[in-house]
A and B are shown apart, each in its own frame.
Chain A
């Protein structure tokens, strides 16, 4: 299996590269099927690095990042995904929540004006 790579400065985050998932459904699926210890580890590792990560990513074009930066960006979106699990619920799923599987994301159309 080809090892996913992150920008050099963020090599230490490699153990969490499995969270570099491009869609909300994939990130939410991984969250609700992970152990809380795995979620907490991602959170604890990523939060202190967020300043440096965004300083790096904000210099890149938002829709044309190199692949390694894109992966790092997707990991930050996974951090956004797991944040409620850590900060609100202390468990992967919403406590007493409606099933996430029934709450369906719909593709947002391209609304670029011409």
Chain B
């Protein structure tokens, strides 16, 4: 099937984004970063994981989020409901749990033994008679707005979120609803701290063009073809906050011997199962047979890469103006035999090595912009998602 090859037509579809180079200052300025924290991270829904990480009542995990100066405790109650709280004792602020995950009937603060139930209620105060008119019913753990979309758990530290999660995800959420996220389980997970602004890290994944170069040894040929050497995408779609692109593969790509093994025994990451029959309309929206995956970017810092039969996610967590915690998590249908597990292991190793290639540019870019030797990012039509991302962020951050 022919690809759209008309030059520069995406900018024409989204004229409000313009075509100018974009400034680097937002990727350097500590002051801009403070405003991002206040005006974005403290106000919008942030993904912290999936509900299948908490299969049983009493299961919990903790997510420390530097961008909102908070330690967030996510708990599944015995009633099955997932709730979020600040991981802070209402007595004097110590963490109520120091474990990153586990299963409990409740939480006892290690400082003076205050005890909280799974719904955050304050159950027991030691030496209570020495307090002055303490109203235990008003001293539960501080709740954090928490909601679930398609199994993805989102929190919002704004005490009164301006939008519900459904409103926040909007038409993007509707387009993806129905993908079989729930039939897959987390297979692997990585974290790394990188000396780079979070937007520079995110931008490295918001276009396909780089794969021909950065991944020329590891997988670029699976995407770049004779007809489409720079991996022009099948579709970009921009939503008010979120965005996606649909990425083609190279139909003439010849897999390596191990890729052939992996595809034979199970599901790997570049096996091509066809045109995606049965996928919701928002996945492989052009229904092109050369489709490989869609990458979705949920404002501000969360990405879901959706393939036919597996998906992976990225989180770009700002630590400071020039330091980012990057997390990857990969999901497959549960492996039922050794062959399927081998296929997933191959995908894990190949993807990991591909990510090491992606990561290789980031700290160099941060140095270059810090030196001001690079004063703008020059963007072409196939980098429209980067342009959109910076525009949405700037609209939130505003002027001083």
| Chain A interface (Cβ < 8 Å from any Cβ of B) | 24, 28, 47, 50, 54, 57-58, 60, 62, 65, 73, 76-77, 79-81, 83-84, 87-89, 94-100, 102-109, 111-114
Contacts and interface: CB of A to CB of B under 8 A. Distances in A.
Contact of B258 (A24, A62, A87, A96): A87
B355 A103 contact: yes
A3 B193 CA distance: 40
A62 B336 contact: yes
B256 interface: yes
Given A84-B218, A98-B359, A103-B356, 5 more contacts: A24-B349, A97-B356, A103-B359, A109-B53, A111-B186
A24 B356 contact: no
Contacts of B174: none
A111 B52 contact: yes
B113 interface: no
Given A54-B339, A62-B338, A76-B342, A97 B360 contact: yes
Contacts of A76: 338, 342, 345
B339 A57 contact: yes
Interface of B: 52-53, 55-56, 61, 101, 185-194, 217-219, 256-259, 261-262, 265, 335-339, 341-342, 345-346, 348-350, 352-353, 355-360, 362
B189 A111 contact: no
Given A57-B338, A105-B188, A108-B187, A83 B346 contact: yes
Contact of A79 (B256, B258, B337): B258
Contacts of B262: 80
A79 B190 CA distance: 20
Nearest to B59: A109
Contact of A114 (B56, B187, B217): B56
Contact of B356 (A60, A77, A94): A94
Nearest to A103: B192
A83 B217 CA distance: 13
Contacts of B185: 111
B241 to A, nearest CB: 28
Contacts of A99: 356
Contacts of B194: 98
Contact of B189 (A100, A108, A114): A108
A81 B262 CA distance: 12
Contacts of A96: 357, 360
A100 B339 contact: no
A28 B356 CA distance: 13
B390 to A, nearest CB: 24
Contacts of A73: 338, 341-342
Contact of B360 (A62, A84, A98, A107): A98
A84 B354 CA distance: 9
A81 B56 CA distance: 33
Contacts of B359: 97-98, 103
Contacts of A89: 217-218, 353
Contacts of B342: 54, 73, 76-77, 79-80
B350 to A, nearest CB: 5
Nearest to B49: A109
B356 A50 contact: no
Given A80-B345, A96-B360, A62 B335 contact: yes
